Amino acid sequence: MTRSAGAVGWSQTATAWAFLAPALFFYCVFLVYPMMESLWISLFKWDGMAATKVFVGLDNYRRVFFEDEVAQRALWNNLVWTLAALVFPTALGLALAMALDTKIKGVVVFRTIFYGPGVLPLVAVGLIWAWMYNPHFGAVNTVLKLMDMRHLTRGWLSRYETAFWATFITYLWSHVGFPMVLYLAGLQAIPKELYEAAEMDGAGAWKRFVHVTLPGLKEAHVIVLSLAVIHALKVFDLIYTMTYGGPGQSTQVLGTWMYFQSFQYYNAGYGAAIAWVISAIILVIAIPYIRHQTKA
Amino acid sequence: MRIFGWIVAAAAGALALAAAPAEAQTKLRFFTNFDASAVRIWQPILDAYEKANPNVKVTMETVAGSGAAIYPDVLRTSMAAGDPPDVFFMWGGEIAGPFIDAGQVMDLGAIYDKHGWKQRMTPWTVDAITRNGKIWGVPFNARGMGFFYRKDIFAKHKISEPKSYAELEQVCETLKKNNVYCASFGGKFGWHPMRLLDYFIETACGPDMHNKLNRLEASWDSACAVDAYGRLKKWVDRGWLVPDFLSVTPADARMPVYLGDAAMIIEGDWFEFVVRGDKQSSANLDFFLPPTGHQPLRYSAFPHQWMIPAKAKNPEASAHFIDFITSPGLQKQFPAAFLASATVGIEPDCKEWPITCKWRQIITTSRDIYPPTDQAFTKELMDGFFEVQSGIIAGKIAPADGGKQMQAKAEAWKATKK
């Protein structure tokens, strides 16, 4: 018995849908529906608990950009954080990857050490580093005192000038391992012959890095930089646990400000609007990344 | 086939027997901010309740460690999800306010009459939890706060308890000259140094004006409020406070006092219990009410309360449970859990808990209290208050500007609520 091409095609499509349906169901229930619900909520003034909501249209979005000074500060902090996250963890990750791209004894141990912080929960990382930064008994100031550098000791998280960057150093510590691993994989995929040819042509170490290594890591760059931006824009845990947005509101980022608005100030509608601002920014970056990945 | 039928029937019977008590059992979720030591003390009370009420199973759920900073968020999430606990712990004032205003808390007026709770409780505690003329909770603790100090440090430097604000400044100056910080605070969540600023406001403005400021009926830009900000700045600038404390947690702020680097800390009647929990000696501690120079001499105090959600699955069982845990008979059986009880006639063992006992005498006899600002303001306005407070402490905001900024925040907040 033979079946027509159309029937076979339909059968394959039905099979594909049958396999996809469970995942699609959970995706819709746990991601798409809550997202659409939060988009709807962002158009209301609502405390998140009461039965009634007041429709305010796009007013919550207007407040984010034109009225709420803390939201604007948070947006700026997100921007600075993201730029820093693009530069420092990636550059350091690349440097570590190149240093560890050898066959010397113990290299696996070093890779594990540098990647290790990346697998720790950020809440735990934040709490540990907050203790390390404690002005009176924290490890950072204690070490500085032991090194006879007492003049450098300070309340790293207490001061407006240092709190943001002290928190970012924690982020750097915990996020350097991931780009390192990706770059390491990329480095190992570059043919050694290219380096040998460049060396024979008289290229020094810097030229080999610029003309062989960097172009050879093109695929890795796309992944590393895209994920760096996405992770940086989503920053929440470290700020929440280490500074709680302070001192003052100096270290607020959109993620924490959204949380404060939604869960502490009972402005669920406004908090949802902030969440959508974060999502929109991430989507602008994520869509080209996803397209690149799916093409690959 | 017949054997198979018997097996099926027996299995069904066994299942029915097993299921019957489970269906009859009432489950109560008891939600608190208890830490590990409080949980240990409370578990026998829950066991006693279950023994007296075999058809009820009580499960304790806790969110500890941040005071009023995180606990209400978790509670609110459970309510928003339609899955509130059956009985929950709550502070008074504006921490409880949003839950009441959103219709998430049961009005207990009728239940009060039924159980005679009003007669059972320290009077001011019921007043303090009344909102819009209705009673929404049952007082559990009556809490007061003051300056705790290290007796050995005071004795060493021949310092006695100050009787006026000027004397308190003298105490700080003497301590500073002897390389001891006057007081320690942890500013991470804002509410710990707020206690000092609250005291300055009470001292600089007096009771009536302080009340008006808390109700936003007077300007925070007024001379006395600016004076209060000025005192906060003075305490920081003179080096009387352990420095760089804005990121320190309130719990960690106790460390300099334990180590003898700081002589004082503003804490409440719970501090004796906390100190012992931290494996420190409380014999070396005493406290005094902050001198304000005003009559009546008011101190910062607040109640804790038990509440029942409006959507509680079994409100009668919840009320019965609250009645059990606030009853004098039960509380006398488990004194360690009720050191600050709002129930009249419950006193701690004064030999075992001398400081707590001294507090009870003040709290149960004096009605002259003012609420901590974080129970007078909503969280949103309170974070504005904390922002100004932090700016003053860090030297980023001058006291006069602090007054202006706080007033601007108060007006902006009022505008959003119209």
Lowest mean pLDDT among A8-12, B9-13, B309-313: B9-13
Could A265 and B378 be called an inter-chain contact, meaning their C-beta atoms sit closer than 8 Å? yes
CB B253 within 8 A of CB B245: yes
Q: Which residues of B touch A46 (CB under 8 A)?
A: none
Assess if residue B12 is contained within a domain: no
* Strands of B128-224, DSSP E: 130-131, 134-135, 137-150, 181-183
| DSSP class per residue in A14-52 | HHHHHHHHHHHHHHIIIIIHHHHHHHHHTTEE--SSSS-
Q: Nearest CA of chain A to the CA of B96: how many Å? A: 12
Assess if residue B156 is contained within a domain: yes
How far is the C-alpha of B394 from the C-alpha of B416, rounded, in Å?
A: 29
Residue A6's pLDDT is what? 72
Backbone angles phi, psi at B15, to 5 degrees: -60, -45
Parent domain of A125: 41-295
Assess if residue A174 is contained within a domain: yes
Residue A266's pLDDT is what? 86
Residue B11's pLDDT is what? 54
**Do A15 and A95 belong to one domain?**
no
**Do B256 and B360 belong to one domain?**
no
Residues of A with a Cβ under 8 Å from any B Cβ are 47-51, 130, 133-137, 154-160, 163, 242-244, 246-249, 260, 263-267
Q: Which residues of B touch A242 (CB under 8 A)?
A: 247
Assess if residue B349 is contained within a domain: yes
**Do A101 and A218 belong to one domain?**
yes
Q: Which residues of B touch A49 (CB under 8 A)?
A: 76, 79-80, 98-99, 102-104
Q: Which residues of A touch B69 (CB under 8 A)?
A: 244
What are the tens digits of pLDDT across the range B60-91? 999 876 666 678 888 988 888 888 999 999 99
Could B380 and A265 be called an inter-chain contact, meaning their C-beta atoms sit closer than 8 Å? yes
User: For the residues B222-242, what does the mean pLDDT come to?
Assistant: 98
Domain CATH for B203: 3.40.190.10
Q: Nearest CA of chain A to the CA of B340: how many Å? A: 28
Q: Nearest CA of chain A to the CA of B405: how many Å? A: 13
**Do B261 and B397 belong to one domain?**
yes
Instruction: Using pLDDT thresholds of 50, 70 and 90, give the confidence band for residue B1.
Output: very low
Residue B35's pLDDT is what? 86
**Do A130 and A266 belong to one domain?**
yes
Q: Chain A contact for B395, CB < 8 A?
A: no
CB B199 within 8 A of CB B145: no
Assess if residue B7 is contained within a domain: no
Assess if residue A195 is contained within a domain: yes
Q: Which one of B103, B379, B390 has the shortest CB-CB distance to A248?
A: B390
Assess if residue B17 is contained within a domain: no
Sequence-distant (≥ 6) Cβ neighbours of residue B255 within 8 angstroms: A136, A137, B184
Residue B277's pLDDT is what? 87
**Do A189 and A230 belong to one domain?**
yes
CB B48 within 8 A of CB B330: yes
Assess if residue A35 is contained within a domain: no
**Do B204 and B253 belong to one domain?**
yes
Residue B17's pLDDT is what? 47
Parent domain of B98: 26-143+302-364
Residue A79's pLDDT is what? 93
**Do A144 and A24 belong to one domain?**
no
Q: What's the per-residue H, E or C state across B297-364? A: CCEEEEEEEEECECCCCCHHHHHHHHHHHCCHHHHHHCHHHHCCECECCCCCCCCCCHHHHHHHHHHH
Residue B365's pLDDT is what? 82
**Do A125 and A13 belong to one domain?**
no
**Do B69 and B165 belong to one domain?**
no
**Do A131 and A233 belong to one domain?**
yes
**Do A275 and A148 belong to one domain?**
yes
Could B102 and A266 be called an inter-chain contact, meaning their C-beta atoms sit closer than 8 Å? yes
Could B103 and A130 be called an inter-chain contact, meaning their C-beta atoms sit closer than 8 Å? no
CA dihedral B403, B408, B410, B416 (to 10 degrees): -170
Interface test with A, best of B247, B257, B380, B388 (most A CBs within 10 A): B247
Determine the residue of chain B that is closest to A157 in CA distance: B247
What are the tens digits of pLDDT across the range B391-408? 999 999 999 999 999 999
ipTM of predicted complex: 0.81
Could B76 and A154 be called an inter-chain contact, meaning their C-beta atoms sit closer than 8 Å? no
Residue A296's pLDDT is what? 56
Could A249 and B396 be called an inter-chain contact, meaning their C-beta atoms sit closer than 8 Å? no
Backbone angles phi, psi at B295, to 5 degrees: -115, 130
Could you give the number of structural domains in chain B?
Answer: 2
Domain CATH for A247: 1.10.3720.10
**Do B259 and B332 belong to one domain?**
no
Q: Do you find a cis peptide bond into A89, omega within 30 degrees of 0?
A: no
Residue type, B314: N
Assess if residue B314 is contained within a domain: yes
What are the tens digits of pLDDT across the range B332-348? 999 989 988 999 888 88
B320 half-sphere exposure, CB direction, 13 A CA radius: 14
How do the pLDDT tens digits run along chain A, 296 residues long? 455 667 778 888 899 999 999 999 999 999 999 999 999 999 999 988 788 899 999 999 999 999 999 999 999 999 999 999 999 999 999 999 999 988 778 888 888 899 889 899 999 999 999 999 999 889 999 999 999 999 999 999 999 999 999 999 999 999 999 999 999 999 999 999 999 999 999 989 999 999 999 999 988 998 898 889 888 998 999 999 999 998 999 999 999 999 999 988 889 999 999 999 999 988 887 787 777 766 65
CB B69 within 8 A of CB B96: no
How far is the C-alpha of A256 from the C-alpha of A278, rounded, in Å?
A: 11
**Do A22 and A122 belong to one domain?**
no
Helices B71-80 and B93-101, interaxial angle, to 10°?
10
Residue B41's pLDDT is what? 93
Could you give the number of structural domains in chain A?
Answer: 2
Residue B197's pLDDT is what? 98
**Do A101 and A25 belong to one domain?**
no
Residue B214's pLDDT is what? 95
Q: Which one of B255, B387, B390 has the shortest CB-CB distance to A137?
A: B255
Determine the residue of chain B that is closest to A259 in CA distance: B73
**Do A166 and A19 belong to one domain?**
no
Could A49 and B76 be called an inter-chain contact, meaning their C-beta atoms sit closer than 8 Å? yes
Assess if residue B320 is contained within a domain: yes
**Do B61 and B116 belong to one domain?**
yes
Q: Nearest CA of chain A to the CA of B157: how many Å? A: 24
User: For the residues B215-233, what does the mean pLDDT come to?
Assistant: 97
Rounded to the nearest integer, the mean pLDDT of chain B is: 91
How far is the C-alpha of B334 from the C-alpha of B325, rounded, in Å?
A: 10
Q: Which residues of B touch A264 (CB under 8 A)?
A: 72-73, 379-380, 383
**Do A20 and A56 belong to one domain?**
no
Q: Do you find a cis peptide bond into A247, omega within 30 degrees of 0?
A: yes
Assess if residue B13 is contained within a domain: no
| Lookup: tokens for B26 | 């009432």
Helix (H) or strand (E) holding B28: strand B26-32
Assess if residue A36 is contained within a domain: no
Residue type, A213: T
CA dihedral B261, B264, B265, B268 (to 10 degrees): 140
Q: Which residues of A touch B418 (CB under 8 A)?
A: none
| Length of chain B measured in residues | 418
Could B99 and A136 be called an inter-chain contact, meaning their C-beta atoms sit closer than 8 Å? no
Assess if residue A285 is contained within a domain: yes
User: For the residues B384-389, what does the mean pLDDT come to?
Assistant: 96
**Do B279 and B398 belong to one domain?**
yes
Q: Nearest CA of chain B to the CA of A159: how many Å? A: 7
B121 DSSP β-pair partners = B343
Residue B190's pLDDT is what? 94
Determine the residue of chain A that is closest to B103 in CA distance: A50
Residue A293's pLDDT is what? 67
pTM of the entire structure?
A: 0.84
DSSP state of A264: I
| Lookup: tokens for B318 | 């919840």
Determine the residue of chain A that is closest to B101 in CA distance: A50
